[in-house]
Amino acid sequence: MKLLIVEDEKELSKSIVAYLKQENYLCEIAPDFKTALDKTESFDYDCVLLDITLPDGNGLNVLKGLKADNKTDGVIIISAKNSIDDRIAGLNLGADDYLAKPFHLSELSARIAAVIRRRRFDGNKVLVLNELTIDTLAKTISVNGKGVDLTRKEYDLLLYLVSNKNRVVSKNAIAEHLSGDEADVFDNFDFIYAHMKNLKKKMVQAGCEDYIKSIYGMGYKFDI
Amino acid sequence: MKLLIVEDEKELSKSIVAYLKQENYLCEIAPDFKTALDKTESFDYDCVLLDITLPDGNGLNVLKGLKADNKTDGVIIISAKNSIDDRIAGLNLGADDYLAKPFHLSELSARIAAVIRRRRFDGNKVLVLNELTIDTLAKTISVNGKGVDLTRKEYDLLLYLVSNKNRVVSKNAIAEHLSGDEADVFDNFDFIYAHMKNLKKKMVQAGCEDYIKSIYGMGYKFDI
DNA sequence: TACAATTCTGAAGGGATTCTGAATACTGAG
DNA sequence: CTCAGTATTCAGAATCCCTTCAGAATTGTA
C-alpha cells in the first residue's frame, strides 16, 4: 500500500514515515502542495495524508483537484486547525477523514487502514472471492473457511493483485510495490517469481482455484 | 508503442530503457539533438522524452520543430531545471508534460501512458468499439464482455490499427511500430502476416466481426 | 544480546511460450 | 494467365517464466 504524506514539518513527516513503514506501508513525502499535485497527477496512492496549512497555498484546492480528477486516492486531512468549519469544508470537498494535530500515530494508522478499506474494498474489511476470503484487518486469508499462513510478502503480493483484479499488472509495478525503492529493480524479477510460486503453491494446496494468471511478456493478472 | 529518449546521460537513459522495455515500450535513444531531429523526421514516435539541457543546443528548438511539422508525437520534457519559466516555456511550445529530474521511473511511465492515451485515444482508458472493448489500462480486450487472450505483439498490433481506425496503415508503418528495428524492415513482412493471421483468428473465434481489412497493395485498415 | 527459525532474494537450469523467417499455397489486379 | 501481393504453416530462435536451492536478511525467542 502506497501513501503520500503532504507535510512540511520535516520532523513530523519523518516520524510518520518511520511509524507507517513499520505498518508495512510505502511512503512518499511531498513537502509542499506543488510537489503534491505533481505526484498525485501521475500516481495513484492508496491514501494521501494532507496537511492543509502549508505555506505555499491552500490545501483545500489540492483536495478539490484530487477529487475532481476522479482519482481513487483516499484523503485524510491533517491540520492544526480544528474548528468545525474546517472539518466540514474538508469533508464537503470529499476528504475521507479529518485528523487534528496533535494525534497519535496509532490513531493515524487505524484511520488510514479504514479509509483504504472503504475505498479499495467498498468498506469491506473482509473480501470474499468465491472460496477465498481475505481479512484485511487481521491480514489473514482463508480458503473454504480454513486459514492459510502467508508470509508478509506473499500477503502483500496477493492483496496487490486482488486490488487490481482482472487487470494485468506489470512486474515493474509489482517489484516496486513489494520492495519499496525502485532503485535497482531493473532486470531482476527473480524474487517475484519466487514469491509468486510460493503464494500460488500455498493457495492451491489449500484448495483454492489458481486465479493468478501469468500473462506472458506482460505481467500477472488476478482473474476472477 | 514506440518511444524516443533524447538524453545524453548514458546511465540514466539506460535505466529508463530498461524499465520501459519491461512495460512493453520499444525504445530508441538519441544522445543529442541532431540525432533526435534525424530520427523524428523519419519516424513517428508515440512519445518523445526530451531532455532540454543537452550540450549541443537548445531543446526547445527541437520541440518547436517537432510540433511545427504537425507530427503526432507526444512530448514529455525532462529537465533538471525546474523553474516555473522553463515549465511554462516548454508547455507553451506544445509539450504535453514536464517532468523534473530526478523522477521515479514509475512516474515517468505513468505520464507516458497518459500522454499516449490523450493523443491516441482522446484520453480514454477504455475503448469501446461495438462488441469489442479494449482496456488500455488493464491491457485486456474483450468481445461481448468475454475476455480474449492476446500475445504482446497481437495486442500492440490491434492497438495500432485501432488508433488509426478507418485509415489505411502501411505495412512499413506497422513493422516500425511492432519491431522498432529501423534497419531491415523493408523487405520482410512475413511476421506481420503471421501476427495478423493469429490476431484475426482469435478475434473471430471470440465472436468479433472481422474489422481488419486487407487493402491490396496498400496495407491494412481497421474498418468500423 | 545471542541464537534459532523463518523469510527473502539472487543465481542457474530447464521448460514453456511467443516470435519470426522460410517454404508453400492462395488471391486479386491487370 | 501471369505476377505481385497476401495468407498459411511450420520449425528454429529468442524470450520469458518456473523451479530449486543456498546464502543473506529479518524476525522471533530465550
Q: Which residues of chain B have a CB within 8 Å of the CB of A182?
A: 104-106
Give the pLDDT of residue A86.
64
Same domain, B9 and B112: yes
Which band of pLDDT confidence, cut at 50, 70 and 90, is reported for residue B38?
confident
Mind telling me how many Å the CA of A184 is from chain B's nearest CA?
9
B195 CB inside 7 Å of strand C: yes
For testing the chain B interface, which of A28, A42, A179 should be mutated: the one with the most B CBs within 10 Å? A42
Residues B142, B149 contacting (CB under 8 angstroms): no
Quick one: which residue's CA is nearest to D4's C1'? B217
When mean pLDDT is compared across A112-126, A198-212, B28-42, B163-177, the lowest value belongs to A112-126
At residue A139, what is the residue type? K
Please give residues of chain B from 171 to 190 whose alpha-adjacent beta carbon (CB) lies under 7 Å from any atom of strand D: 171, 189-190
What's the pLDDT at B167? 94
A89 and A29, same structural domain?
A: yes
Q: Which bases of strand C sit closer than 7 A to a protein CB? A: 6-12, 17-23, 28-29
Question: What's the pLDDT at A199?
Answer: 95
Average pLDDT value for chain A: 81
Which nucleotide's C1' atom has the smallest distance to the CA of A197? D18
Which of these ranges, A95-99, B112-116, B189-193, has the smallest mean pLDDT? A95-99
A140 or B64, which is more confident: A140
Confidence of residue A122 (pLDDT cuts 50, 70, 90): low
Whether B3 has a pLDDT exceeding 90, the answer reads: yes
Interface probe with A: pick from B14, B25, B104, most Cβ of A within 10 Å: B104
Domain count, chain A: 2
Tell me how close the Cα of A217 comes to any Cα of chain B, in angstroms. 7
Assess contact for B76 and B47: CB atoms under 8 A: yes
Domain boundary at B93, B121, B149, which?
B121
Q: Is 60 exceeded by the pLDDT of residue B11?
A: yes
Q: What is the pLDDT of residue A188?
A: 80
Degrees, nearest 5: CA angle A171-A176-A180: 155
pLDDT at residue A222, as a whole number: 94
The predicted-structure confidence for A25-66, as pLDDT tens digits, reads as follows 778 888 888 888 877 766 667 889 988 877 777 777 777 777
Between chains, do A172 and B138 touch, taking CB under 8 Å as contact?
no
Q: Measured CA to C1', what is the nucleotide nearest A152?
A: C7
B222/B211 Cα distance (integer angstroms): 5
Helix H, strand E, coil C: the string for chain B is CEEEEECCCHHHHHHHHHHHHHCCCEEEEECCHHHHHHHHHHCCCCEEEEECCCCCCCHHHHHHHHHHCCCCCEEEEEECCCCHHHHHHHHHCCCCEEEECCCCHHHHHHHHHHHHHHHHHCCCCEEEECCEEEECCCCEEEECCEEECCCHHHHHHHHHHHHCCCCEECHHHHHHHHHCCCCCCCCCCHHHHHHHHHHHHHHHHCCCCCCEEEECCCEEEECC
Q: What is the pLDDT of residue B155?
A: 96
Which CATH number is A82's domain given? 3.40.50.2300
d(CA A146, CA A144): 6
* Strand D interface, A 156-215, C-beta < 7 A: 171, 189-190, 193-194, 196-197, 200-201, 214-215
Give residue-wise pLDDT tens across range B49-101: 999 888 887 788 888 878 777 677 899 999 876 666 666 777 777 888 888 88
- Reply yes or no on whether the pLDDT at A20 is more than 60: yes
pLDDT at B34 over 80: yes
Domain boundary among A75, A100, A120: A120
CA angle, corner B48, sides to B47 and B52, nearest 5? Answer: 150
CA A83 → C1' C5, Å?
52
CATH code of the domain covering residue A134: 1.10.10.10
In this prediction, residue A87 carries a pLDDT of 63
Q: How far apart are CA B187 and CA A45, in angstroms?
A: 47
- Same domain as A106, residue A16: yes
**Would you call B106 and A170 a contact, using CB atoms and an 8 Å cutoff?**
no
Q: Which residues pair with B49 in a beta bridge?
A: B5, B76
* More confident site: A69 or A113: A113
Higher pLDDT, B42 or B136: B136
Q: Which residue is nearest to nucleotide D21 (CA to C1')?
A: A194
What integer pLDDT is reported at residue A184 of this predicted model? 52
Q: Given this model, what pLDDT does residue A149 score?
A: 92
Same domain, B102 and B146: no
Nearest nucleotide by C1' position to the A190 CA atom: C10
How big is the A-B interface in CB pairs under 8 Å?
A: 52
Are residue B6 and residue B110 in the same domain, yes or no? yes
pLDDT tens digits, A144-165: 988 999 999 999 999 999 988 8
Given a cut of 60, is residue A80 above it in pLDDT?
yes
Q: Is the pLDDT of residue A143 over 80?
A: yes
Q: What is the mean pLDDT of residues A11-35?
A: 80
Cβ contact A6:A51 at 8 Å? yes
Q: Are residues B55 and B161 in the same domain?
A: no
pLDDT of residue B215: 94
Confidence class for position B153, pLDDT limits 50, 70, 90? very high
**Rounded Cα distance, B32 and A183, in Å:** 25
Whether residues A132 and A111 fall in one domain: no
- The answer to whether residue A171 scores a pLDDT higher than 70 is yes
One-letter-per-residue 3-state SS of chain A = CEEEEECCCHHHHHHHHHHHHHCCCEEEEECCHHHHHHHHHHCCCCEEEEECCCCCCCHHHHHHHHHHCCCCCEEEEEECCCCHHHHHHHHHCCCCEEEECCCCHHHHHHHHHHHHHHHHCCCCCEEEECCEEEECCCCEEEECCEEECCCHHHHHHHHHHHHCCCCEECHHHHHHHHHCCCCCCCCCCHHHHHHHHHHHHHHHHCCCCCCEEEECCCEEEECC
* Together in a domain, B101 and B172: no
> What pLDDT does A192 receive?
93
pLDDT band (50, 70, 90) for residue A71: low
A88 and A33 co-located in one domain: yes
- Going by DSSP bridges, is the β-strand pair A219-222/B212-215 parallel, antiparallel, or unpaired? unpaired
Of B121, B146, B180, at which residue does a domain stop?
A: B121
> Are B75 and B169 members of one domain?
no
**Could you tell me if B144 and B110 lie in one domain?**
no
Strand C and B21 CB separated by under 7 Å = no
Domain hosting B198: range is: 126-222
In terms of domains, do A16 and A116 share one?
yes
